[in-house]
């Protein structure tokens, strides 16, 4: 990952360094993020004793839905901005971008906002098939809850 290691010597000739659509191999051992196909673009500018890096990482990430377990692709775009000073020596932009991506990974990814998940009773994907199991469970649960409340009121 040489090209993501920046140091002040890189800016001796030119004050600006621009990178466009560089492949970002996010080698992540994650059960949530299954796969990623990301690219990074950034512009690093030297201002006397500081280097400012502004950029974007974007592409496709593959997740497993936390409710229905379906594997789905999601377009991602994350902006970042870093700066480092001369005394810091080398700056590992790869690690910093990696952290930014990790922070952006949802804890409980969802294939869609209203994902109905998997039926706890028959195991079917409720987005694809409508079973009546959950309804029964719900009404039983509500009945139990109300009967407790009614009992409490009677006392």
The residues binding Zn ion (CB under 5 A) are: 65, 67-68, 111, 115, 119, 121-122, 131, 133
Q: What span, in angstroms and rounded, lies between the C-alpha atoms of 63 and 19?
A: 28
Q: Which of 131, 126, 130 is nearest to 115 (CA)?
A: 126
- Which CB atom, from 45 or from 70, has the smaller least distance to Zn ion? 70
- Which CB atom, from 46 or from 67, has the smaller least distance to Zn ion? 67
Least Å distance, CB 65 to Zn ion, is 3
Least Å distance, CB 113 to Zn ion, is 10
Rounded to 5°, angle at Cα 113 from 121 and 32? 75
Q: Which of 45, 44, 31 is nearest to 3 (CA)?
A: 44
Q: What span, in angstroms and rounded, lies between the C-alpha atoms of 62 and 38?
A: 11
- Which CB atom, from 5 or from 121, has the smaller least distance to Zn ion? 121
Q: What span, in angstroms and rounded, lies between the C-alpha atoms of 101 and 37?
A: 12
- Which CB atom, from 56 or from 136, has the smaller least distance to Zn ion? 136
Least Å distance, CB 76 to Zn ion, is 18
Least Å distance, CB 89 to Zn ion, is 46
- Which CB atom, from 21 or from 132, has the smaller least distance to Zn ion? 132
**What phi, psi does 80 have (nearest 5°)?**
-140, 155
**What phi, psi does 110 have (nearest 5°)?**
-125, 135
Least Å distance, CB 70 to Zn ion, is 5
């Amino acid at each position: 990952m040489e090209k993501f290691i920046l140091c002040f010597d890189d800016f001796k000739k030119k004050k600006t360094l621009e990178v466009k659509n560089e492949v970002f191999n996010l080698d992540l051992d994650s059960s949530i993020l299954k796969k990623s196909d990301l690219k990074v673009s950034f512009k690093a500018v030297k201002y006397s004793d500081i280097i400012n890096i502004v950029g974007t990482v974007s592409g496709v990430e593959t997740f497993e839905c936390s409710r229905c377990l379906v594997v789905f692709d999601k377009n991602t775009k994350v902006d970042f901005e870093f700066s480092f000073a001369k005394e810091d020596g080398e700056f590992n932009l790869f690690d910093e971008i990696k952290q930014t991506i990790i922070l952006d990974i949802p804890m409980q990814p969802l294939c869609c906002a209203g994902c109905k998940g998997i039926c706890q009773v028959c195991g079917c994907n409720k987005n694809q098939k409508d079973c009546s199991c959950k309804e029964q469970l719900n009404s039983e649960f509500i009945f139990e809850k109300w009967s407790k409340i009614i009992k409490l009121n009677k006392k």
